Amino acid sequence: MRYAVLGTGIVGRTLAATFSALGHEVVIGTRDPEATLARTTPDAMGNPPFAAWHADHPEISLATFADAAAEGETVVNATSGSGSLQALTAAGAENLDGKVLVDVANALDFSAGMPPSLDPVNTDSLGEQIQRAFPGAKVVKTLNTMNCRIMVDPDRMAGPHNVFVCGDDAGAKKAVSDLLVSIGWPESAVIDLGDITAARGTEMVLPIWLRLYGAFGHTDFNFHIQGARAAG
Ligand code: NAP
Stretch 81-93: mean pLDDT: 98
pLDDT tens profile 55-79: 999 999 999 999 999 999 999 999 9
Asked whether residue 103 is assigned to any structural domain, the reply reads: yes
pLDDT tens profile 144-197: 999 999 999 999 999 999 999 999 999 999 999 999 999 999 999 999 999 999
Pairing of strands 25-30, 190-192: unpaired
Confidence check: pLDDT of 224 > 70: yes
Query: CATH no. for residue 163?
Result: 3.40.50.720
Q: Which domain holds residue 195?
A: 2-216
CA 228 – ligand 1 centroid, Å: 31
- Ligand 1 pocket residue status of 47, Cβ below 6 Å: no
Asked whether residue 228 is assigned to any structural domain, the reply reads: no
- Ligand 1 pocket residue status of 81, Cβ below 6 Å: yes
The beta-strand segments (E) located in 39-158 are 61-64, 74-77, 100-103, 108-109, 117-118, 138-142
Asked whether residue 63 is assigned to any structural domain, the reply reads: yes
Among the listed ranges 50-54, 124-128, 185-189, 226-230, which one has the minimum average pLDDT value? 226-230
pLDDT tens profile 197-208: 999 999 999 999
Q: How far apart are CA 122 and CA 200, in angstroms?
A: 6
- Ligand 1 pocket residue status of 12, Cβ below 6 Å: yes
Stretch 103-108: mean pLDDT: 98
Asked whether residue 230 is assigned to any structural domain, the reply reads: no
Tally of domains within the chain: 1
Asked whether residue 136 is assigned to any structural domain, the reply reads: yes
Give me the amino acid identity at 8.
T
The pLDDT value recorded for residue 189 is 98
Asked whether residue 226 is assigned to any structural domain, the reply reads: no
Asked whether residue 224 is assigned to any structural domain, the reply reads: no
Asked whether residue 9 is assigned to any structural domain, the reply reads: yes
- Minimum CA distance residue for ligand 1 atom 47: 31
The dihedral over CA atoms of 66, 68, 74, 79, expressed in degrees to the nearest 10, equals -80
Q: Which of 28, 39, 79 to mutate to test the pocket of ligand 1 (most atoms within 8 A of CB)?
A: 79
Q: Is the peptide bond before 120 cis (omega within 30 degrees of 0)?
A: yes
What percentage of residues in the chain have a pLDDT greater than 70? 99
Model-level pTM?
A: 0.98
pLDDT tens profile 121-144: 999 999 999 999 999 999 999 999
Confidence check: pLDDT of 231 > 70: no
CA 226 – ligand 1 centroid, Å: 31
Provide DSSP, 29-64.
Answer: EES-HHHHHH--S--TT-PPPHHHHHHT-TTSEEEE
